[in-house]
Structure 1
Amino acid sequence: MSGALRLLLAIMVILSHFGGDPYYKHFGYYAVRVFFILSGFAITAALNEVYAFELKRFWANRALRLLPLYYLVLMATLATVLALPDETARFSTHWAGPNLTDFWLNLMLLPMMSWAHGFRLVMPAWSIAVEIMMYAYLVLGFARRKSYATMLFAAAVAFHTITVFDDSGWDARYFDPHSATLGFSIGALIYFWRRETRLKVSPRAILPLLMLWIANTAGGGWLLSDDYARLEGFYLNSVIGAALVAALAEWRPTAALRNVDGYLGELAYPAFLCHSLAGFAVALTFFEPDARGIDFTLVAIPASLVVAVFMATLNQRWIEPLRRKIRRGAKVTAPPSPEGQALGVAGA
């Protein structure tokens, strides 16, 4: 069910970008933070169980996972922006007024973790760059031992405490790259906690936790204030997300259901990457270039999923065979644990 959850999180991001009402903004913020917890768990497990910290193979596999599809969307978006500059500028301010420096920053990707770079060919470039930075933290040692992951978690708590009480506020709490250490350290700690204790979160809790997460997300800015959505609700999102990841680690699906869930998970990253480009095509064809709103979103989401199917097919044909070859050559210290398999660690 982790694959279905990743796809749901991607759809929540699309809703936050296209919904048109400021109310939907935090839907994407919350979704990205839960994904960081998932990723922290999966990468910590992969480093320990699949790669044994053999970093050359780990980084090669991560690069193949993230970069080919990123550059595919980047080049397609660049061609669109150059061909239709007025229309694309109306669709997104992030596509207005490109120059050569902007292009190289987008091409290098890592500089995009700074939100100060306004021109973004691929809207999720920020979160991808931050994710790579978090991989580096885990590789440097925070994924090796529970005590190290606890140190990272303590530093993350200190960072977020400062953002609550100083003037930096929401911008630092969410957009500062170091804020992501909270989610990644929580994911790493879930891995070590599960390995070292018999305490489990029952998979029966998955549905109640998911409903609680949706209620917390929907309630902020509606039943509860915008301030709640950006403070108490934001941190409750991480608590619920952590429990949900721990429960998913206990899920033991049938082979058929695991295959379906795995395929849904494979659509999540392409949909996340391509939704702005797919949304622009929908706007240009059926709406206005600056279209937003629920009606537009209900068309843009299926369009994004159609493009994601195409991208996932290309990925399975050309990229995944290379990644499997790299994984087979890794110095595996032990078979991936059942909880790691449940969250797709074997394919990390």
Structure 2
Amino acid sequence: MMGTLRFFMASCVVLFHLTESVPNIGMLAVVFFYAISGYLITLVLNETYKFQVKAFTENRVLRLYPAYLVTLAVGLGISLSESFKSFHHVWTITGSPLDILGNALIFPWGLVSGTTIHQFRVIPSSWSVGVELCCYAILVLFTARNIKTAMTTAALAAIWYIYITYYVTDQLLKYFPVPAAMLPFSLGAIAYFISRHSEILRQISQNQKLQASIFASCLITFTAIWYYSITTSTLIVNHWSYYANMALAFATVVVVNKARMTGLIGRIDKYLGDLAYPMFLGHFIYAFFVWRLFGGEQRGWVIFAIAYPVTILASALIVKFVDQPINKIRNRVRDSARSEVDLPAPIQTP
């Protein structure tokens, strides 16, 4: 059910951004994404790549950059429109080298996320992809090595939260920068180590009816947490709901991670998961198209109602014509990494 969960979270981000009428839900979804990524990256580093950095990096580049570059090309095309700058505050060129480096490489956005540096991001949501890439590096170097390194990272990230709470004015530093993201990322890593050898969790993962019930419970609980987050004037990063969402993400990843639906449901789950990333990347760009075609408000329920299905359609095209052909290359990289791991060690001569 992980694919459907990722699709749901991507949809929450689109809802948050395009309506500007559903506060907090996008931030909660991004944090949930981080926990899922923490689990998945720790899993593949330990079980597929055995920390072969070159093969892992090649596969991640092939997974993230082709869809990104296609979306970037579309965004650069619409940037020629006179009304482009009015649609989003990050669509103003600064003339800084960061304009080129950030949009071309993605990860520089992670290095400046949470700072006051103005950023011209053709894909507005790419800041969090940049944060993810920086977190991947930390996982490779330290966090994903074992349960102790994962727990140490979580402890250090918790110290960051405490420090920001009591000594820094900008409380959103508990959301935007890499140190903040490492808390849910490390929780995802811990979830992997907990679930790796659990026979009970393996049995749960094989019960599709139970998995469906757990998934439904997750969505209901997520919605309840979101509801409580909007019943207070407290900034969400200072409200218990923000941390309850992290706990929910951790618990969900622990229980749902090994679930594999079969048949038609399994294929739908995988396909929805494939749609999540291009949806997350492109929704502002497709909303701009909708706004240019139909006019009206730049944010609200009307533009969301039209732009959301357009975003899904555009994402489906990217999956079919970009991601699926690239997956053949990714599979070769992954299989090569596995074969290298399985090779016997060479005989050492004195």
The letter of the residue matching 1:216 is I
Change (3 A) 1:287 1:39: same
Equivalent position SS for 1:121: coil
Matched, 1:238 2:246: yes
The match for 2:89 among 73, 93, 106 is 93
* Contact 1:209/1:243 (<8 A) preserved: no
The letter of the residue matching 1:87 is S
The letter of the residue matching 1:103 is I
The letter of the residue matching 2:92 is A
Equivalences for residues 60-209 of structure 1 within 5 A? 60-81=58-79, 83-84=80-81, 86-97=82-93, 99=95, 101=97, 102-113=99-110, 114-115=112-113, 116-198=117-199, 200=201, 203=211, 204-209=213-218
The letter of the residue matching 1:160 is Y
- 1:318 deviates by 2.8
Structure 2 equivalent of residue 340 of structure 1: none
- 1:287 deviates by 2.4
Q: Distance in 1 between matches of 2:42 and 2:259?
A: 19
* Contact 2:71/2:282 (<8 A) preserved: yes
Equivalent position SS for 1:9: helix
Matched, 1:318 2:315: no
Q: Distance in 1 between matches of 2:96 and 2:135?
A: 28
Q: Deviations over 1:81-118 (max 9, x none)?
A: 1x21x311111121124536323432232221223233
Q: Distance in 1 between matches of 2:43 and 2:91?
A: 38
The match for 2:313 among 306, 317, 323 is 306
The letter of the residue matching 1:57 is A
Equivalences for residues 27-38 of structure 1 within 5 A? 27-38=25-36
Q: Distance in 2 between matches of 1:72 and 1:148?
A: 36
The match for 1:270 among 278, 293, 308 is 278
- 1:182 deviates by 0.5
* Contact 1:26/1:229 (<8 A) preserved: no
* Contact 1:53/1:139 (<8 A) preserved: yes
Q: Deviations over 1:193-222 (max 9, x none)?
A: 11244564763432212201111113322x
Unmatched 5+ residue regions in structure 2? 205-209, 343-350
Q: Distance in 2 between matches of 1:105 and 1:238?
A: 28
Equivalent position SS for 1:175: coil
Matched, 1:8 2:24: no
* Contact 2:75/2:285 (<8 A) preserved: yes
Two-structure CA RMSD over aligned residues (Å): 2.0
- Name the TM-score, length of structure 2 as normaliser: 0.88
Range with greater deviation from structure 2 (5-14 or 94-103): 94-103
Q: Distance in 2 between matches of 1:256 and 1:65?
A: 24
Unmatched 5+ residue regions in structure 1? 335-348
Equivalent position SS for 2:51: coil
How many residues end up aligned between the 2 structures?
328
- 1:25 deviates by 3.9
The letter of the residue matching 2:218 is L
Matched, 1:261 2:269: yes
Matched, 1:52 2:61: no
Range with greater deviation from structure 2 (303-312 or 108-117): 108-117
Change (3 A) 1:8 1:284: same
Equivalent position SS for 1:291: coil
Q: Deviations over 1:105-149 (max 9, x none)?
A: 322322212232331101121111111111111111321211111
Q: Distance in 2 between matches of 1:188 and 1:276?
A: 31
State the identity %.
29
Q: Deviations over 1:209-251 (max 9, x none)?
A: 2201111113322x33343564211111101111111221253
Range with greater deviation from structure 2 (107-116 or 4-13): 107-116
Change (3 A) 1:111 1:249: closer
Range with greater deviation from structure 2 (210-219 or 244-253): 244-253
- 1:11 deviates by 0.9
Structure 1 equivalent of residue 220 of structure 2: 211
Q: Distance in 2 between matches of 1:189 and 1:133?
A: 18
The letter of the residue matching 2:176 is F
